[in-house]
Structure 1
């Protein structure tokens, strides 16, 4: 350990997830000495990347497990739709274009893919799924990095990036209770957002944030982000925006991961604690709209909602990790879920009466909509009328926050006086540059992979 702490490294990377690993591999392949500082214990290494399952990828024809074509303009239009235009178009299009070359690079470095799973067929053209999920991807990259000579220190808590002028002169890190100063020719910051710090969330969102569940890693507490902002690095993104999805209300407070996500919303009616609907459940296909539901539920009383389906829809989405509540009547289901059963019955009856006949297609926009009811349901609007009935409680689940560090196309960290000479950022710590709001399934991995690789290449060149 002392040898690792006392030498001057070509590249020091703060973080241990996808972006950090991509940067480490690129820098090591360029012949540079690389040290990764991962604050999590080894079994929990990998940050939010442990919980991912796919990578959104542009391609001009069938590519690996991807089918057909997914061009730059369509990809960008999908991003514009979910972000309402709040993105840096130059950086966004660069990430999209680079994604096509990233997929074969990932395969060359140990990542294996599989065809889309049942319940995710709508993604077969746009998203490549990892065989074994995010944990398998993380382990593959760590194995590749080790073969390249990358050194890793776990439970290494970086507390300060020493900036003098436009130069990083060292990093302060605490390991097993002792403080150390590490020297580096270049530094890559890939330590994520601040979702693990509930007090910071509450300052940004208000007291309601204390009711949120953190489905991402608890080790991303924003320490390095705050340190850099305090030293004048330019910020990007809104502190009140984050990747927040509606997850199972029975999930743990931290680190529940992707298995706690519920994909039932498009085939359901969603009500609040007063058994009232509050938004169009069928607005768009789930990969493009699922991330808005965390914020929608956060705005409801007690930050809770309930998704109600019937027997017709139970097999139309990925199965949940916890079984739903079940009952033979809507009233009974409501009572089981802590709702007023009669009120829920009235809401469902009103919804059913507004449904119209149409050709139901669960994996694409089908235009099967309600009439004469607010809010409308604009797709997949079938009556909830076939027992048994099922219900899930929903709570906001925060994956990562969008406040971050501003970077340029070379991933270099910016200040009001220009870029820092030897500091780059990749992954969630800079994703707010592209994700102003909303989310697109698999796009976080795209950002991390593209900018991680760029940061590693640029740092390696500078260190030479």
Structure 2
């Protein structure tokens, strides 16, 4: 271990690793402080599986093209316009050069997954998933001379005037202090701190599941905000998806996500539908369902499908409940049987011609005369056996974070902090005001991680 480091990177996921490798390649002596133990290193990145990438033609595993304007339009749809256009376009435009950079640092790609994702043109899938990406980056970082301390709980960054003077952390039951010349914060959001989540959301948050790492508790974020570092984002906004209600409280990961919603109806505990299940293709709408479920009684929803839809989506990690009748399925799901039967029959009556049904693109097969409507993939639920899943809100990461500029630099009301940068989920609220676009978190982390590493190494040089 070096006795003196040029740069301390706080966090151990994609953004942190991109920053550390970029800085090390520029000649900086870099230390990564990762809160998690080594087997759980990587934060939420180990649960990812793809990277959303602009490209002007076929690129790696990506087919056709995906322009900056189309990418930005997709982002506007999911965020409702709540984004910093300059930073968003920077992330989008830079993503094209990131894919070959990722390959050069050990990431391998594969063709896109089948099912409802429909991402062959927009998202590059990691061979071996996020865990493989994280391991490849750690190997590359080691070759570059980056040091890593696991189980390192950063407790305080001392801000004096316009610079960070030292970093305090605990390791093996002892307190430590280092004085790096620059600091990059890439330690995620606060979602694993259930008390903080509850202060933001109220008591319903105690029913949320945290699909990502249990180590993102926002300690560094809280410390910096308390010292007046500029913040961005709404504490109630987050990447929240509807996941299998049987998932664990923490760390269930991406496999607990359910992709069956477009081919289903979704009801609450009173067996009432509450939103359009076919509003758009799943990668552009899956992230709204966590908040939708959060607004239902007991923060729970229920998916109902029939036999003809069972093979149309990616298999679930837990098998669905199964019954020969809707009434039996309702009993298994603790729903009112008569009400579920009535809801399904009302939906079935509203379905029209289904000959144009197409599971992987918007098909316009819609209901008529019911509210809420189902605007695509609306087929009657008539073919037994019937299947069901329970849904809970699964929070991936929160959007309250550190405000950064185009150089990933943090600031206070008095101006920039000369030696503090942020990347990844801890600053994603600068771009994501609400909603989420599949694979975009990895884009933000990769782009701004590399920017932060470049700028921090320039500072120390």
CA contact 2:320–2:388 (8 Å) conserved in 1: yes
Query: CA offsets per residue over residues 370-391 of structure 1, 9 Å max, x none?
Result: 0000000000000001111100
1:56 corresponds, among 28, 52, 57, to: 52
Which residue number corresponds to residue 85 of structure 2?
89
Query: CA offsets per residue over residues 19-66 of structure 1, 9 Å max, x none?
Result: 000001000111110000000000000000010000000000000000
Structure 1 position 337 matched with structure 2 position 333: yes
How do residues 140-155 of structure 1 correspond to structure 2 at under 5 angstroms?
140-155=136-151
CA contact 2:117–2:283 (8 Å) conserved in 1: no
State the alpha-carbon separation in 1 of the partners of residues 231 and 352 from structure 2: 48
Query: CA offsets per residue over residues 262-312 of structure 1, 9 Å max, x none?
Result: 000000000000000000000000000000000000000000000000111
Which residue number corresponds to residue 128 of structure 1?
124
| DSSP-derived class of the 2:36 partner | coil
CA contact 2:307–2:384 (8 Å) conserved in 1: yes
Structure 1 position 213 matched with structure 2 position 216: no
State the alpha-carbon separation in 2 of the partners of residues 179 and 36 from structure 1: 17
CA contact 1:8–1:185 (8 Å) conserved in 2: no
| DSSP-derived class of the 1:9 partner | coil
How do residues 11-30 of structure 1 correspond to structure 2 at under 5 angstroms?
11-30=7-26
1:116 corresponds, among 91, 101, 112, to: 112
Q: How much has 1:120 moved relative to structure 2?
A: 4.8
| DSSP-derived class of the 1:322 partner | coil
| DSSP-derived class of the 1:428 partner | helix
Which residue number corresponds to residue 348 of structure 2?
352
Which residue number corresponds to residue 439 of structure 2?
442
Which residue number corresponds to residue 374 of structure 2?
377
2:255 corresponds, among 239, 242, 259, to: 259
User: How well do the aligned residues superpose, as a CA RMSD in angstroms?
Assistant: 0.7
Structure 1 position 247 matched with structure 2 position 243: yes
Structure 1 position 404 matched with structure 2 position 401: yes
State the alpha-carbon separation in 1 of the partners of residues 340 and 285 from structure 2: 25
Tell me how many residue pairs correspond in the alignment.
460
CA contact 1:60–1:70 (8 Å) conserved in 2: yes
State the alpha-carbon separation in 1 of the partners of residues 189 and 406 from structure 2: 20
Q: How much has 1:8 moved relative to structure 2?
A: 2.2
- TM-score, normalised relative to structure 2: 0.99
Structure 1 position 38 matched with structure 2 position 34: yes
4+ residue segments displaced more than 4 Å: none
State the alpha-carbon separation in 2 of the partners of residues 149 and 90 from structure 1: 34
2:218 corresponds, among 199, 211, 222, to: 222
State the alpha-carbon separation in 2 of the partners of residues 167 and 200 from structure 1: 27
- TM-score, normalised relative to structure 1: 0.99
| DSSP-derived class of the 2:5 partner | strand
Which residue number corresponds to residue 172 of structure 2?
176
